[in-house]
Structure 1
């Protein structure tokens, strides 16, 4: 039986150290971590690796349930997948495990709370952006593409596929920029 820890934060500027230290203190021999949103499973390679290597009797540990995800269905599916492999899931704060039947009920409720919290965060973010736009303080997000370079490359005769290849973006993004011009 192995204790496998999973730590996650949503953004690159957040710190994983506290979660990793707590998981080590709980006896996790293997800890996988990543900096990616918990809104869905997309781009969560470390979580996929953990699930793939769970064996019967193993225990997947997270510091809080929202580290597994913020979508109730996703969280319940992750727990189900772990159990299909004969493993248990343990959340440290509050301490809940799928070893007992009551743990499933508590984890379902916690999953719903995490999803509701994500909706509140998105709503507050949307309201903040609207207020900032109203006061003229919001100019939008940081532009990820060099629009002048796209236009210059197109003027020099490069096609959308070639521009996209050089800049590491999709052809649709190139077309959108050229349409704006």
Structure 2
């Protein structure tokens, strides 16, 4: 019996493409995680699926990176499945651990996928460093303007941080961080 696993990283993404592919591959049951990063190895759907697998079954994913983002995490899961008598299949990469050659290809593909992610990460960091060097702001825009921060500081003398934060539509901890940032920059 084939058991499917589908995952998307953010709440905005949809599982439809993966679910359709897994159904076409003959998966009788499909576990899913929605809005869960692949870097996290503790995912509710993944844990339920791994606990349900029995010898002779095959775990099927749409792509390798749906199961895990790191080579060590993927290898650990696949090795554990092999010890339990469970095969693994990735539809997009056309990898199956049902044969020794398939296991070799899996390890090569996983290493290349991790290498690609590392290159992307390096390029992203280099781009962010260059943007900062040129004086561009990186990340989210500030939650409060400088004028709002000054108003909030004045209001703290007569109001609670919680009520001030509510007025600006932010969390009290966000307001405290703004105050701390202001103290640090002088």
Q: Secondary structure at the match of 2:27?
A: coil
Q: Distance in 2 between matches of 1:153 and 1:69?
A: 46
Q: Distance in 1 between matches of 2:181 and 2:12?
A: 32
Structure 2 segments unaligned to the other structure (5+ residues): 163-170
Q: Distance in 1 between matches of 2:49 and 2:175?
A: 37
Alignment partner, residue 44 of structure 2: 45
RMSD of the alignment, in Å? 3.3
How many residues in Structure 1 have an aligned counterpart in Structure 2? 170
Q: 1:143 to 1:84 in 2, by over 3 A?
A: farther
Alignment partner, residue 110 of structure 2: 111
Q: Give how far 1:73 is off.
A: 0.8
Alignment partner, residue 16 of structure 2: 17
CA contact (8 A) 1:40 1:74 kept: no
Structure 1 segments unaligned to the other structure (5+ residues): 160-166
Q: 1:102 to 1:176 in 2, by over 3 A?
A: same
Q: 1:99 to 1:142 in 2, by over 3 A?
A: same
CA contact (8 A) 2:161 2:172 kept: no
Q: Distance in 2 between matches of 1:74 and 1:109?
A: 14
Q: Deviations over 1:130-177 (max 9, x none)?
A: 3333444x42322798896x9777985679xxxxxxx597xxx88755
Q: 1:144 to 1:56 in 2, by over 3 A?
A: farther
TM-score by length of 1: 0.74
1:90 aligns with 2:89: yes
Q: Distance in 1 between matches of 2:178 and 2:157?
A: 11
Q: Which runs of 4+ in 1 moved over 6 A?
A: 143-148, 150-155
